[in-house]
Amino acid sequence: MPKHFLMCRPDYFTVEYAINPWMHPEAGADRDVAVRQWEGLKAAYEELGHEVSLIDPIEGLPDMVFAANGALVVGGSVYGARFAYPQRGPEGPAYLRWFAERGYPVHGPLHVNEGEGDFLTLDEVILAGTGFRTDLTAHQEAQEWLGRPVVSLTLVDPRFYHLDTALFPLDGRNVAYYPEAFSEGSRKVLRAMFPDAVLASAEDAEVLGLNAVSDGRNVIINAEASNLQLELKRRGYEVIPVELSELRKAGGGPKCCTLEIRGEN
């Protein structure tokens, strides 16, 4: 089944502030390299037959390339983002406007949440992260607006500040994750819900290997996450490695650059 993604070209990408441990403004980042790598990711989706829509980047919003944070779209309804840090604040309304202008029903959020960075959608439930960015109250708000049960998971390692840096859905029913990124209680929940999950090593997590996108058959994943790639192949997935090292300097990988637009049904 082809998917529909929203992406944002990193035309104004920089690392000029630090809101997560990956970001080092003094070291900077190369925008041209970032754009080239991002284009590789977009091409990989299109080669697989997925549709990519684009939102115009806004000058002065260097993290806007991380489209996953812009909203959560389930069943054709859009739950908007409300960013934890003021540096990214204007991105929430910008993404919400994109959807509103195209006729999607949108919900302007009352509670702090960073879209698909902290909400990962499965067939029956939505997994939601909290601990660094998204407030627990936003989990309830998303559940009310989208009508799908939300399962809250607590993140404990600041390097894995969004749920999508520590876990990704393999399909609508199973996930891959890095257990150490979660609280003891949340690990128990994950073990109970996903006895068959792919467990990632620290090495894979430290190159943002869990920040991957699966369409149920193909997995687009950071090139450096070699153990995880082997395990995915062993499980029968087609692995498509992408090089996004420049965007990792802001703490992002393939999934961060990708907002899935889920239609009705």
Site of interaction with ligand ARG (CB under 6 A) = 19-20, 23, 63, 66, 68-69, 88, 117, 162, 164-165, 250-252, 256
Minimum distance from CB of 263 to ligand ARG (Å)? 21
Q: How far is CA 123 from CA 145, 170, 229, 232, 251, in A?
A: 17, 11, 24, 21, 28
208 contacts 219 by C-beta, under 8 angstroms: no
Active-site residue flag, 162? yes
Residue number with CB closer to ligand ARG (21 or 147): 21
Which listed residue (8, 50, 139, 162) is catalytic?
162
Handedness of CA 36, 18, 206, 209 (dihedral sign): negative
Minimum distance from CB of 77 to ligand ARG (Å)? 20
- Give the whole-angstrom CA distance, residue 263 versus residue 265: 7
Name the residue type at position 100. Answer: A
Residue number with CB closer to ligand ARG (131 or 184): 131
Minimum distance from CB of 91 to ligand ARG (Å)? 9
20 contacts 257 by C-beta, under 8 angstroms: no
Residue number with CB closer to ligand ARG (132 or 191): 132
Residue number with CB closer to ligand ARG (20 or 143): 20
150 contacts 142 by C-beta, under 8 angstroms: yes
Minimum distance from CB of 132 to ligand ARG (Å)? 9
Query: Looking at the annotation, which residues are catalytic?
Result: 162, 256
